[in-house]
Structure 1
């Protein structure tokens, strides 16, 4: 009976997330607020069912161990509170972004618990703490307008943090972690946000050629330090983010092509100068010849994706733990093996929905600073998803980038929470501006109408 239930769950998972994804895109284009409210409710119900079903299967497969039920209830309360608090404190926030964020975290919690229960507890504790802190970000963004004036502070602080990490210990061959006693932090995750704020602040002041050169030099310094640290994924993200923010600020296609050209030359030089860059490319081109050594990880990833097929083996039925560091760099492969291609494609469409929402919010921001921040954070998020999935399916060389909200990693999930809180804060501000403009427009129309009828405020008095 249990095996039949687990077998059926594969199709239930695929149906639920497909229906959720459809609701996400319907909510993005629908104008009727009452109907959108029904879509939000539907999304929440589907999310909680997926979360419940996942933990129920884990409970059955682990000899009905009550620790899975206890963790489920704590996470259920957390997800419910996140949805409710955003609804109460920030009713003008993008509910689609909040719902998608919670759905991705729910999927991540289930899969991490399946791979390593203790890591799931740690991930959940960090997520809950980070969420409490990020609840204040939209409020601060609305009241403290001086954030746009600290460009050099953002840039220099980020660069200093990256240099400190460069001389710290290594994680799987890369300088990524800064240890502070028993606590290990991956500063690169937070420097991404500082970097976006730096570029936005500097271009908000001026987009002259001199200013552009200064910003480009400091941005290039960030990328070079990351390449030296063997953090190739972050280096690529920083480069692409700067290029698109530069284009957004200046609207000069020549800068875009110059950046692409310079990036291509830098990539060739990095390949010949840095051995770790050459190794990544070599493994990408032919992992099968080194399947017992350096190519083992990507080969196992490809095996997992191929074996998962359309609906997967079923939660707890595959062997995703055969992929080294599956809960971090190869969460997409682990999910595909047990949930199937339909499930993970729907998950990617949810991520794409987030990117579309972010770009839409950016297009509505009137202030250049906020528009650039929204573009920068949106590109950071979208390109990070592309890198982790592209590396898992061997489209591009492995970069060691996590899947936001889904993969294991305390620094990763906190930085993702901060990014989404900033985006929602800007959406909140834009909604307020829109209402203010609407109210002003109605007042002016009323005055014109009164004048047309031969009345004015002074005459009435």
Structure 2
């Protein structure tokens, strides 16, 4: 009976997430006042998927009560997160909030399936980070000096990146800064500081001299990341800067020069740095080193292939055969047990987030906020591309996480901060629209009164 339940659940998971993704796109093109049913529909599906996942894990683990306790704690967390955003920031993008919670729900299920203790840790960090991020939209609205703190963002970011260089390597790279019992991956937060720095500097001026200055400092960030072997973050910083440069200056020639310089730098890094060369060689032919350096990517490809359309079923596959599956290869683990249809729907939700972010950016009148929204949106979208592309061997593996889904305290907190900032800017824009409409209404009323007089 248990096996029948798991077999049926594969199809339920896939269809539910497809319905959720369809609702996300339908909601994106509807008027705000007509979205309430869509929001409720998404929430019902999210809680159904979350409940079904933990019911299966509860049954497969000898009905251990700890799984039910963790489920109810996460249910309360997800419900409260949606409720608080709805009450404190009714003008925030509920679609973004729902998508964020949906991705976390999927992540909680899969991390719990791989390692219960890590799921508890992830949940506690997410809950603590969410409480902190509740204040960000309000701060963004009230503190106008954020746009003038460019050098503070720059100095803080570079200092953190340099500090990591002298720390112990983790999985062959300098990524983690350890402070007593707490380990933090500063690169996750420096991404946000970097976006704020570039936006602040271009908000002051987009002259040629300013552009050169900002480009040099951006290059310093990238070089430090390459030296510390954090290739994924280095690529993200590079692409994000080029996009923000284009939005700020509207000069396609700058982007062309940037890509050309980046290509030359990449070729140079391949020649100079052994770890860069090693990543490319593994990507080109992982099968020849399947017993050593190519083992991870080969197992990832096996997992994706074994998943087929509807997967092997939750806890019925072998994703734990992939080293560090809960971090760098979460997409592969999900595809194996939930199937390709579920995985594609998950990617469509991520794409929906990117579209919503770019839409919010287009509505921001102030250059600083528009650049921040674009920078954070590209950071999010490109990170999803890197982790999925690396897992599928489309590109060399870069070691970045799938936002909200993969295990990692720094990753989930930084993702929560990014979404809170985006929602803060959307909230501000909605206020501007209301003020504009009220002003237009008053002007119309005055004109009518004058006409009557």
Q: Shorter-chain TM-score: which interval?
A: over 0.9
Matches within 5 A, 1:59-98: 59-98=58-97
Partner of 1:160: 159
Deviations 1:322-374 (A, max 9, x none): 00000000000000000000001000000000000000000000000000000
The CA distance in 1 between the partners of 2:32 and 2:405, in whole Å, is 31
Secondary structure at 2:178 match in 1: strand
Whether 1:112 and 2:132 are equivalent positions in the alignment is no
The CA distance in 2 between the partners of 1:368 and 1:448, in whole Å, is 33
Matches within 5 A, 1:131-280: 131-280=130-279
Matches within 5 A, 1:275-354: 275-354=274-353
Partner of 1:11: 11
Q: How far 1:450 moved relative to its partner?
A: 1.6
Deviations 1:53-72 (A, max 9, x none): 00000001111111100000
Secondary structure at 1:311 match in 2: coil
Q: How far 1:44 moved relative to its partner?
A: 0.2
Secondary structure at 2:183 match in 1: strand
Partner of 2:25: 25
Partner of 1:367: 366
The two structures, once aligned, show a CA RMSD in angstroms of: 0.5
The CA distance in 2 between the partners of 1:87 and 1:104, in whole Å, is 19
Secondary structure at 1:294 match in 2: coil
Secondary structure at 1:412 match in 2: helix
Q: How far 1:379 moved relative to its partner?
A: 0.2
Instruction: Tell me the matched-pair count.
Output: 453
Secondary structure at 2:311 match in 1: coil
Partner of 1:432: 431
Partner of 2:398: 399
Whether 1:36 and 2:38 are equivalent positions in the alignment is no
Q: TM-score, normalised by structure 1?
A: 0.98
Secondary structure at 1:156 match in 2: helix
Secondary structure at 1:303 match in 2: helix
Q: How far 1:32 moved relative to its partner?
A: 5.7
The CA distance in 2 between the partners of 1:431 and 1:125, in whole Å, is 32
Whether 1:125 and 2:139 are equivalent positions in the alignment is no
The CA distance in 2 between the partners of 1:131 and 1:170, in whole Å, is 29
Secondary structure at 2:168 match in 1: coil
Q: How far 1:31 moved relative to its partner?
A: 1.4
Matches within 5 A, 1:437-456: 437-454=436-453
Divergent runs of 4+, >3 A: none
The CA distance in 2 between the partners of 1:259 and 1:248, in whole Å, is 14
The CA distance in 1 between the partners of 2:418 and 2:401, in whole Å, is 15
Q: How far 1:445 moved relative to its partner?
A: 1.2
Secondary structure at 1:184 match in 2: strand
Q: How far 1:167 moved relative to its partner?
A: 1.2
The CA distance in 1 between the partners of 2:281 and 2:46, in whole Å, is 41
Structure 2 gaps of 5+ residues are none
Q: TM-score, normalised by structure 2?
A: 1.00
Q: How far 1:446 moved relative to its partner?
A: 1.2
Secondary structure at 1:226 match in 2: helix
Whether 1:412 and 2:376 are equivalent positions in the alignment is no
